[in-house]
Amino acid sequence: MAAPTRLLFVCTGNICRSPSAEGVFRHMAAAAGLAERAAADSCGLASYHVGEAPTRAAQDAASARGYDLSTLRARRFERVDFDRFDLILAMDGGHEAQLRRMARGDQAARIALFLAAAPDAAAHEVPDPYYGGPAKYEYALDLIEAGCRGWIDRLQRA
């Protein structure tokens, strides 16, 4: 059996968008029978929240849709992640640009915008809901579900 495709979801602090994407992706991959073919993790580019759980608002929005983020803890992106993961998926263009500046050689080929797999999504980036209310988290989760469906579809076709 081939090694699983390893996906890394990246945002700023790893307490809103990227852990939500990790939780949603894992749930969808299991439901699609891809749990053995895909592995997911998440991280942040900043160290503000290392060791913390996703925000209560992120957990509540995810839980209402059947996703469990309670065991996830924030960590910071490390340069070795370029070698650990097949796909490094940035939640927005700023994250993508920062990752590309850090990449060496062919590592940049592993980087993509998360919503690149969801061309029909309502946006091209997942906006940060951190300073917003529940509606911002719901909108971010709508986009995250669309992106995860797109990546699941790509894995199923691979």
pLDDT (tens digit per residue) in 105-129: 999 999 999 999 998 989 999 999 9
Nearest to 77 by CA among 117, 50, 116, 112: 50
Q: Which residues are catalytic?
A: 11, 17, 128
Backbone phi, psi, residue 15, to 5°:
-130, -5
State how far the alpha carbon of 58 is from the alpha carbons of 99, 107, 129, in Å: 24, 30, 9
pLDDT surpasses 80 at 1: no
Nearest to 151 by CA among 111, 117, 105: 117
**Domains of the chain by range and CATH?**
5-157 (3.40.50.2300)
pLDDT surpasses 80 at 2: no
